Structure 1
Amino acid sequence: MKNTAYKIFKKPFFGRFARPWRWPETVDQSQWQRLSVESESGATIAALLGPAHTQQAKGAVLMSHPMGVVAKGFWMKYGHAELLREAGYHVMIFDLNGFGESTSTTMDYPLDVLAAGQTLQAQYPELPIAVMGASMGAAMSVCAMAQPKHPFKAAVLESAFPTLLHFWRRYPIPKLGIQLSKIFYPAGERSLRPTYAAEHLVGSPDMLLIYGEADEFTPIEDGKLLWQALKKRTQAEFWQVPDAKHTHAYAVQPNEYAERVIDFLDAKLIDNNRRELNQGN
């Protein structure tokens, strides 16, 4: 009954994305290992693990997708996953519940990110873990970092909205649903509000925020609201990308994107990990 109610509530938000998932055509499926993750949201999360292309890995990165039928395939289709693998990072991509191949349960998406991150950490317990998210996946990753026992040392977040209302304000039915949830289930709405999560971060994961100047869904001013909230609790960088549309900074500035993202991960994961090991000794 509970899941049925959530499916009805979720339909105006995500119903158009409920389609059978397909591998992107250019992907070599043999390079990916399938994993199944049990989330505290009640969902069974479908994930794929892609090892680094280098002999020795620097770390591992969980990739949390934006809304869309392609779901976890976003990271393969547009090249982000291969960028990280070539740079020496293991990557894990996964479907949030109700998307792709994952089962649909509640709207507790941060718990899906948390479960996937903990599974990735269990796969590589000796390596530092980061999370990379786009749009919805980025926002829910921020919320996951307010959860106890999250494994993330750093985060790369593109087009993350500061609150649900900021993203859905131009859509009357979802907007009404969010407004009602703030009245009848305020704890649930807070758990999905990145600016609230920013005030309750667990640990101090360093963050790189990326926003496109041509983004109609999460404009620069929305990104700066979240950035200001995060800066009060951790080190957060802000990159404003000319001509980039929603979640597509890599397509517009591939060289600078690669340099900024890889340099950030190398500095925050490798260098910080070395310092922690030295302090432990």
Structure 2
Amino acid sequence: MNLYTLLKKPFFSRYQKPWSWPAEAEAERGSWRRVDLDNGRGGTLVGLFGESSSGPARATVVCAHPMGVEAKGFYLKHGHARMLRESGFNVLLFDFNGFGESPDADLLYPADVLAAAKGAAALAPGLPVMGLGASFGAAWLVCALGQQGHGMTAAVMECPFTTLDEYWVRYKVAFAVLKASNVLMPRLLAKLRPVARVRDVADVKAVLFIYGGQDSVTPSSMGERLLAACPLPREQCSMWVIPEAKHTRALTAAPQAYRERVVGLFESALAQAAPRAQQARG
């Protein structure tokens, strides 16, 4: 047990439980294979790789899970993974360090996203890599897109928070630990501020923020701030609010519209990237 493991307990101990395959996706189990990904810091991330179920894959989508016992299983349980595979994409699910089946390491969650993106490129060489994140995972996906060489062509972030302080203020003990950590580890915590890191987002064709009108955890006002701070042209960076959606439940609230928006954004990004790829080959 390291210092980070102890530091995480007030925040994540209730979610760091043994992982199990979601019953809702039992029929899909045989079409996935376990993969161990290099986390880039001397450790591993445990993932699941599923190939497109609708012809040759057009890209690989890396899914960054929300905070919860389900970990990577969130995308199996709620149908995101199946939707993407049926739409012609490979899917890489992974557990952040300390969640699901991934060993605990540190607080560098954006680095976990970068490691997963690199792993996706290695699993399907030559295919573009896209990002999909929800809540906890969406926040770290935002931060990852602000780092050079992230390797992702497009990204969809559902209900990311703006800062850890604003998310954890509802929990007295965790918030007190966080405030102390801000003093003791200011450089580290500065790397974990999506509303600041979004200002560095670059080298991505399209970004979409999704929020729910019934979300009291990360309200759409957070998305408005992230959108305003994003340096990408507005034709490349947009926000969609689903009036009836609760926290992390956009697909459940509007399944057809969600598929059209998310798959449409990935397809648009692929179309934009294709001419440049052809020029490079020429």
Shorter-chain TM-score: what band? over 0.9
Aligned to 1:10: 8
Query: What TM-score, normalized to structure 2?
Result: 0.94
Q: Mapping of 1:8-47 within 5 angstroms?
A: 8-25=6-23, 26-27=25-26, 28-47=28-47
Percent identity, please.
Answer: 38
Aligned to 2:67: 67
Q: Deviations over 1:228-260 (max 9, x none)?
A: 111x24521100001111000110111111111
Q: Which amino acid aligns with 2:262?
A: V
Q: Which amino acid aligns with 1:246?
A: H
What is the distance in 2 between the residues matched to 1:130 and 1:55?
18
Relative to structure 1, the CA distance from residue 41 to residue 194 in structure 2 (aligned partners, 3 Å threshold; closer, same or farther) is farther
Aligned to 1:244: 245
Number of positions where the alignment pairs a residue of Structure 1 with one of Structure 2: 277
Q: Deviations over 1:199-234 (max 9, x none)?
A: 22242342011000111110011121111111x245
What is the distance in 2 between the residues matched to 1:96 and 1:89?
22
Aligned to 1:177: 177
Q: Which runs of 4+ in 1 moved over 6 A?
A: none
Q: Deviations over 1:52-101 (max 9, x none)?
A: 01222111100000011010000000000000000000000000011000
Aligned to 1:104: 104
- Note the C-alpha offset of 1:33: 1.1
Say which SS state the counterpart of residue 14 (structure 2) adopts: helix
Q: Mapping of 1:1-281 within 5 angstroms?
A: 4-25=2-23, 26-27=25-26, 28-230=28-230, 232-233=231-232, 235-268=236-269, 270-280=270-280, 281=282
What is the distance in 2 between the residues matched to 1:98 and 1:271?
37
Contact 2:195 2:229 in 1 (8 A): yes
Contact 1:161 1:167 in 2 (8 A): yes
Structure 1 stretches lacking a partner, 5+ long: none
Query: What TM-score, normalized to structure 1?
Result: 0.95
Structure 1 stretch displaced more, 24-33 or 156-165: 24-33
Structure 2 stretches lacking a partner, 5+ long: none
- Note the C-alpha offset of 1:160: 0.4
